[in-house]
Amino acid sequence: MKIGKKVWHSQRLNSANAEVAEYGKPTEYVTHTNYLTVMPATSRGFLEIMRYGEDLENTWTVIANGKAFDGVFHEGDVMWVDGESPDETIDDEYGDGASANAVVKSVAEVNYTISVTLTRNKDQIKQ
């Protein structure tokens, strides 16, 4: 994604083993160098191809400033990336986060940088 584009993030409110996921209101962020970068995993090279294999086309990576985003991202949270934004009509009917197009699969923090892996597979989002 280009710098200056908007992404939204919604935290999962209940536990991962809950039958129906509940999410908080989406928070808007604007991408910026050394703050928040969102990119398809295909842009990161051979290692990503080996790691994700067939899921590579549906995998995105978020690199976030560790100081600004400490404790923000958690596994199971949902996001709107690649130009998508929350759809109020869907979220009003089915709950916050229902219109999301990506789910957080892993979060790692190294040297004040947070690396978040997202998947855009709708079947995985609904789980």
Q: What angle do CA 74, 42, 39 make, to 5 degrees?
A: 50
Q: What is the pLDDT of residue 124?
A: 46
Asked, for residue 86, whether it belongs to a domain, the answer is yes
**Would you write out the chain's pLDDT as a tens digit for each of its 127 residues?**
788 999 999 999 998 788 888 999 999 999 999 999 998 766 555 555 556 555 656 788 899 999 999 999 999 999 999 889 999 999 998 888 989 999 998 899 988 899 898 887 655 444 4
Token pair listed for 87: 């759809």
Q: Compute the distance between CA of residue 109 and CA of residue 22 in angstroms, rounded to an integer.
A: 25
Residues 25/5, Cβ–Cβ less than 8 Å: no
State the greatest distance between any 2 C-alpha atoms of the chain, in Å, as a whole number. 42
pTM value is 0.82
Q: Is residue 49 part of a domain?
A: yes
Give the residue numbers spanning the domain of 21.
6-125
Instruction: Tell me whether residue 52 is in a domain.
Output: yes
Cα(102)–Cα(126) distance, rounded to whole angstroms? 10
How many domains are there within the chain? 1
CATH of the domain at 31: 2.40.10
